[in-house]
Amino acid sequence: MAADRLAGRRAIVTGAGSGIGAAVAARLRADGARLFTADVKGAVDFTADLAGAGANAELVARARAAMGGLDTLVPCAGISAFHPLEGHDDGYFLRVLEVNLVAVFRLVRDAVADLKAAGNGRIVTIGSTTSSYGDDGLCAYAASKHAVLGFTRAVAAELGPFGVTANCVQPGAIATPMTAPAFAEMPQYRSFWENKASLRRLGQPEDIADVVAFLVSDDARFMSGHGVWVDGGAMARH
């Protein structure tokens, strides 16, 4: 892609220490965007538990100061683990909602003035195919990802008059550190997703990052409020 496709963009990418977030950061940087990255671990500009109260406000303030402004948000930080409904404890359910949903809400809220002022703001959230469907043992995760899609659509509606677009990328099964343990422990789960995808493979983080870069770019200027499956055609075979 052209090295200047995203020139002038100033973006926060969370979850940039690993997997999809790291690939998104690399893609946006390669396309000419300025970035301020965050994660609880890894080589990022701001290290914090983004589910903590005040963490996103501090992230936004630091990013604004470092880049002289802010017009793009790509919150990729997320957690997932299998927990059957029976015996599912409150703490883990709430933690998943805090990281996958509430932290995204806080980031967008705390940056809303910057995005409005930019006139061409971009928000790309990371949902999941479980933003549209359920999956065994993933009640907390699916609840959080359904909610992120709904949140994104509400934001698109509210901020559209200010030139801000908001879309939710919904990855299928992607080979990252998040999915590696489940795929290693349950090879049949890996095969299930490889075979479910019309393209008959797992996704790579770059498969998601390239679509995020498109949604941030001017090419996607009239696209807002969408949930976009980037799943190798898995849901086409549902």
Ligand X SMILES: NC(=O)c1ccc[n+]([C@@H]2O[C@H](COP(=O)([O-])OP(=O)(O)OC[C@H]3O[C@@H](n4cnc5c(N)ncnc54)[C@H](O)[C@@H]3O)[C@@H](O)[C@H]2O)c1
Q: Reduced to 3 states, what is the DSSP secondary structure of residue 14? A: strand
Q: Which of residues 89-148 bind ligand X (CB under 6 A)?
A: 99, 126, 128
Which positions ≥6 away from 207 have C-beta within 8 Å? 171, 174, 230, 232
Mark the segment that binds ligand X (CB under 6 A) among 25-33, 155-163, 166-174, 212-220: 166-174
133 belongs to the catalytic site? no
Nearer to ligand X, 118 or 173 (CB): 173
- State in angstroms the smallest separation of the CB of 145 from ligand X: 7
Which positions ≥6 away from 90 have C-beta within 8 Å? none
d(CA 140, CA 102): 13
Structure tokens at 140: 């907390």
Please state at what angle helix 19-30 crosses helix 205-216, rounded to 10 degrees. Answer: 50
Say which amino acid occupies 101: L
| Among the listed residues 177, 191, 198, 233, the single contact to ligand X using CB under 6 A | 177
Nearer to ligand X, 44 or 220 (CB): 44
Cα–Cα nearest to 144, from 176, 110, 168, 164: 168
Say whether residue 40 binds ligand X (CB under 6 A): yes
- State in angstroms the smallest separation of the CB of 163 from ligand X: 26
Number of residues that bind ligand X (CB under 6 A): 28
Phi then psi for 32, rounded to 5 degrees? 100, 5
Say whether residue 234 binds ligand X (CB under 6 A): no
Say whether residue 207 binds ligand X (CB under 6 A): no
Rule CB under 6 A: which residues touch ligand X? 15, 17-21, 39-42, 49-51, 76-80, 99, 126, 128, 171, 173-174, 176-179
- Positions marked catalytic: 141
